[in-house]
Chain A
Amino acid sequence: MTDAIDWQELIQKHLDGQTSEQEAAALSEQIVNNDAVRSDYLKAANLHGALGDETLELEETIPFTQAEPKKDRRLRSVTWPRQLAAAIVTGLFVGLTGIGVVWAMNSPRSEASSVPIANGDFQSLSGPVESGFPNRFGYWSGNPAEIVEVSDGNQSLRFLETGNVMGTPGGRAKNCSVFQLVDLTSLQQQLGADRSKSQITLDLSAQFYREAAPNDADLPNLDVAVRIYLFQGEPEFVSNIWPDAGREADAVGKKHFRLAPGDEASTISTSCLLNPDVTFALIAVSANARTGGTTPIPLGGYFVDDVQLTAIKQPILPVRFVK
């Protein structure tokens, strides 16, 4: 244990019971001999006690925001006036033509559950992302990008410059993509092979934001994207066929979005159907310069955070024909 130890960090770990015996002994020594550490410890411990004390009389009300359950964005995108308009148009169409249409007997009800991905919030990582295409599950890698602490204290992934992730000589460097391979076998086991009564959709979402950068004017067409590819088999084969892996995929989902510097952070999502044979997913977040050049382009202030993968189970509805 040396002076290089971040005592503040060790204090925080100790409050959550995460210190080793050796660390607790070192912290104890500092508490006895170092006034600053002792004072910091007391402040942190008092705060820890106050946060758990519902009887503490604060002089203001705690402004916790209400956590919202993740919604099915496809349903959310259709607002009620559009639903109403669609119902009126459909009613007129049926009434005027008298053709047979198919109606769902029950209203659709979906269940969403989170699919674990490694470090989707980047909180446990820092520094440059591993370069190259991933060939095993559970880590981020890709084009030049780094995980940095941003102004609100959270960690985010920053896209640094475009590149050719396979390192192909003369290959185009049109985007900066960071990938992760996600093992879906345990999810598939939980869901079971019988999909006769329900269908499963995988929804990939990520929050992007952009800060102003000196070279913004050079990148007028730059956008950000989320992509998901579903495959059967072993993950190694994808790295052998990238960037043509999309052709071999069981399903693909993509969504692009353009952000101006200083715009509010935007969460974008894409989804695709999960068939029972799929064994893993390749997910990607990227910033695209939309150029055909081979020279890497610095990307300025593009960030992504809070990458989430959600499985949405929806019933396949019984139907009947009406005239």
Chain B
Amino acid sequence: MRIRKMGSVARQTFPSFTRLTLFQRETETFLSNNPSFRGPVMEVTFSSMPTTDKNDAHERFTRLLLESEPVMLRSILVLVPHRADAREILQETAVALWRQFENYDPARPFLNWAMGFARIETRRFLSRESRSAQLSEKAMEALEQEMQGTSEFDSALKRHLATCLGKLSEKAQRQVKGYYLEGHTPQTLSQREGRTVEAIYKTIQRARSELQACIERQMKSELA
């Protein structure tokens, strides 16, 4: 079902970047979790890809989107932490951006322009999907306001995340890797590890708290 949904989004306007990034990543994750799955993925076509007279615009758009996509995804994840939801919002943002790309002023930073669309698509997604335990509108606004600009923690995160991951216990590393890099659900990990789903969640949450504390310690030691 997920593939069908994504396929329908892709058919609308998605140019070649889709295959390279979002769509391919989601498809591969889905197929690796469902080895017996056959069918809808083969039906996906890109028949509505823009024609050659827009090739320059495609290339420019693809390049700009590829550059901005990780930052956009991480910003969406702040408000909508569920990764599949965040990726769906990102896809719809990409569709909206492509539709409006002719109105984009190249003199302005693409990321700033794109983030406005991401905010709209996030709100649209949340009102459409009505997730029960989501942050209030006021809370999201407060977070968006504080997200402006790069925080010290973000740059420290890039410097120290690898070191801090290495300090986690082997069990925590294995589960963090399974959850984030391999894209497994806690249910899948619980079967793989022979532990309860609750225990998997707890290990991952504890690991994130440890990583955060570790990065903050590294920041302090840099200042000392």
Contacts and interface: CB of A to CB of B under 8 A. Distances in A.
For chain B, give the interface size range: 35 or more
Interface string B158-201: 11011101101111111011101100001000011111101101
B70 interface: yes
A42 B139 contact: no
Interface stretch (A51-59, A184-192, A208-216): A51-59
Give me the 10 closest cross-chain CB pairs, A-B, nearest first.
A114-B194, A49-B74, A60-B162, A28-B139, A12-B205, A28-B136, A24-B133, A49-B77, A63-B166, A31-B139
Contact of B142 (A13, A14, A32): A32
Contacts of B146: 38-39, 42
Most buried by A among B73, B81, B158, B176: B81
A42 B205 contact: no
Interface of A: 8-9, 12-21, 23-25, 27-29, 31-32, 38-39, 41-65, 67, 114-121, 123-124, 152-154, 306, 308-310
Contact of A25 (B77, B136, B153): B136
A53 B21 CA distance: 12
B173 A15 contact: no
A65 B223 CA distance: 30
B151 A64 contact: no
A44 B208 contact: yes
Contacts of B27: none
Given A24-B133, A51-B180, A58 B78 contact: no
Contacts of B82: 17
B64 interface: no
A27 B212 contact: no
A50 B74 contact: yes
A45 B147 CA distance: 11
B140 to A, nearest CB: 8
Interface of B: 69-70, 73-75, 77-78, 81-83, 132-136, 138-139, 142-143, 146-147, 151, 153-154, 157-159, 161-163, 165-166, 168-174, 176-178, 180-181, 186, 191-196, 198-199, 201-212, 215-216
A120 B81 contact: no
Contact of B161 (A50, A67, A114, A123): A50
Contacts of A120: 194-195
Nearest to B193: A114
A47 to B, nearest CB: 6
A63 B154 CA distance: 20
Nearest to B138: A32
Most buried by A among B73, B147, B205, B215: B205
Given A24-B133, A58-B162, A123-B203, A15 B139 contact: no
14 contacts: A14-B135, A20-B133, A24-B133, A27-B135, A38-B142, A38-B143, A41-B78, A44-B209, A46-B154, A49-B77, A51-B161, A67-B178, A153-B169, A153-B206
A57 B174 contact: no
A60 B78 contact: no
Given A46-B154, A52-B180, A63-B165, A123 B202 contact: yes
